[in-house]
């Protein structure tokens, strides 16, 4: 894989650390800013919604700029948003900085996904995506738990400052190592013709399934900390351990999916989907047993990213003739799920802190049902 792909993964690591570290900081943010845990968890949804809206917008705005200039600019904007967020004294301001950071992350991912696909032969998009996403999964293994520990010891603001600083070498790496090529101009119809790809049933189905699986992932992951410290009865420092295990599983899952999703994506989804469906309810039932909880956290991380990664790879393949917007379609699918999942999960918290885990299972069930129904529809199977 080209060096440029690994530099893009470094930037994805910095951004992924921010996106996922909230799972370990939600209780502290809620206490500091005087809001409920459910409200603080909605910062994840605000971030994801900003990415859904920002992905196509930023992809269009960056279309005529050299790739590395656009990518490094997005990383620096992301850093600035975190510096402001670290000084926020009220929840609305912090929420606004998450939206700005989301727009920057959306722009980065929309351009990076398209750039990554262009750096490799057409039949290796899955491998390229797995390298790019490895930055996110390594963030879950190292960056997110480190942010959680930092937040536990020094407060959540220190974690935000750490992300801002982490973005600086990432921006330098992208600026110096990614080719200064301009994006392709696309099909004969130009940019205006690219949204027509959204009428393709196979593309829409891949986006919908990817969104539902990612919604399940964020439903369970965002509110994992209360389960670890509440139901399992473990101390706060066990939260980073759980996040490390989820991240290690996600790294394993996306690595396996990257090797299979170019040739046999159906195998990944058909085998991993039912296991993912069983895993979330099992996690809820066995959450009071720490060993079982931590084991299943690893397994669910692996399955979530294997299945989700395979589906997002299909989005890139189905949108191959929309080079400007393909990355934004994949980003929008991922983050529609990331926005929806915490909203659904937050609504279940009133009944039990295990509600988000059951919500994750329900969202996976919805994905499998949609896949089963539309498999028989011509053009979508």
- Cβ neighbors of 204 (< 8 A, separation 6 or more) are 198
Residue 31, number of CB atoms within 10 A of its CB: 12
d(C-alpha 310, C-alpha 318), whole Å? 13
Q: Which residue has the higher pLDDT, 38 or 292?
A: 292
Per-residue pLDDT tens over the stretch 295-322: 999 999 999 988 988 888 787 777 766 6
Per-residue pLDDT tens over the stretch 160-216: 999 999 888 888 888 877 776 654 544 444 555 556 666 678 888 888 999 999 999
What pLDDT sits at residue 379?
A: 45
Residue 106: what are its φ and ψ, rounded to 5°? -60, -45
Mean per-residue pLDDT for 65-94?
Answer: 88
d(C-alpha 312, C-alpha 337), whole Å? 12
What pLDDT sits at residue 138?
A: 77
Q: Which residue has the higher pLDDT, 20 or 345?
A: 345
Q: Which residue has the higher pLDDT, 21 or 273?
A: 273
Q: Are 358 and 345 contacting, i.e. CB atoms less than 8 angstroms apart?
A: no
What pLDDT sits at residue 362?
A: 95
Select, from the ranges 76-80, 127-131, 239-243, 323-327, the one with the highest average predicted confidence (pLDDT): 76-80
């Amino acid at each position: 894989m080209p060096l440029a792909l690994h530099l893009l993964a470094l930037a994805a690591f910095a951004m992924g650390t921010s996106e996922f570290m909230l799972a370990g900081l939600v209780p502290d943010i809620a206490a500091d800013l005087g809001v409920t845990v459910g409200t603080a968890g909605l910062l994840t949804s605000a971030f994801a919604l900003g990415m859904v809206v920002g992905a196509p917008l930023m992809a269009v705005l960056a279309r005529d700029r050299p790739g590395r200039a656009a990518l490094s600019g997005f990383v620096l904007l992301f850093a600035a948003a975190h510096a402001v967020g670290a000084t926020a004294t009220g929840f609305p301001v912090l929420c606004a900085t998450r939206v700005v950071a989301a727009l920057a992350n959306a722009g980065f991912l929309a351009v990076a996904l398209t750039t990554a696909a262009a750096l490799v032969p057409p039949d290796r998009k899955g491998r390229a995506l797995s390298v790019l996403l490895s930055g996110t999964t390594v963030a879950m293994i190292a960056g997110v738990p480190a942010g959680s520990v930092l937040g536990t010891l020094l407060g959540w603001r220190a974690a935000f400052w750490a992300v801002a600083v982490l973005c600086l070498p990432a921006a330098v790496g992208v600026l110096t190592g990614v080719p200064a090529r301009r994006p392709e101009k696309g099909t004969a119809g130009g940019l205006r013709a690219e949204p027509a790809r959204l009428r393709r049933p196979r593309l829409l189905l891949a986006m919908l399934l990817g969104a539902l699986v990612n919604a399940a992932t964020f439903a369970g992951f965002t509110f994992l900390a209360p389960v670890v410290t509440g139901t399992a009865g473990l101390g706060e420092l066990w939260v980073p351990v759980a996040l490390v295990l989820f991240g290690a599983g996600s790294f394993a899952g996306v690595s396996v999916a990257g090797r299979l999703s170019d040739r046999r994506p159906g195998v990944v989804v058909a085998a991993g989907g039912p296991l993912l469906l069983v895993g979330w309810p099992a996690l809820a039932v066995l959450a009071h047993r720490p060993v079982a909880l931590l084991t299943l956290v690893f397994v669910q991380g692996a399955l979530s990213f294997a299945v989700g990664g395979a589906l997002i790879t299909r989005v890139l393949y189905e949108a191959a003739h929309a080079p400007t917007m393909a990355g934004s379609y994949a980003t929008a699918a991922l983050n529609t799920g990331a926005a929806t999942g915490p909203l659904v999960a937050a609504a279940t918290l009133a009944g039990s802190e295990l509600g988000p885990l059951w919500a994750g299972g329900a969202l996976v069930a919805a994905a499998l049902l949609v896949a089963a129904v539309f498999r028989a529809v011509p053009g979508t199977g």
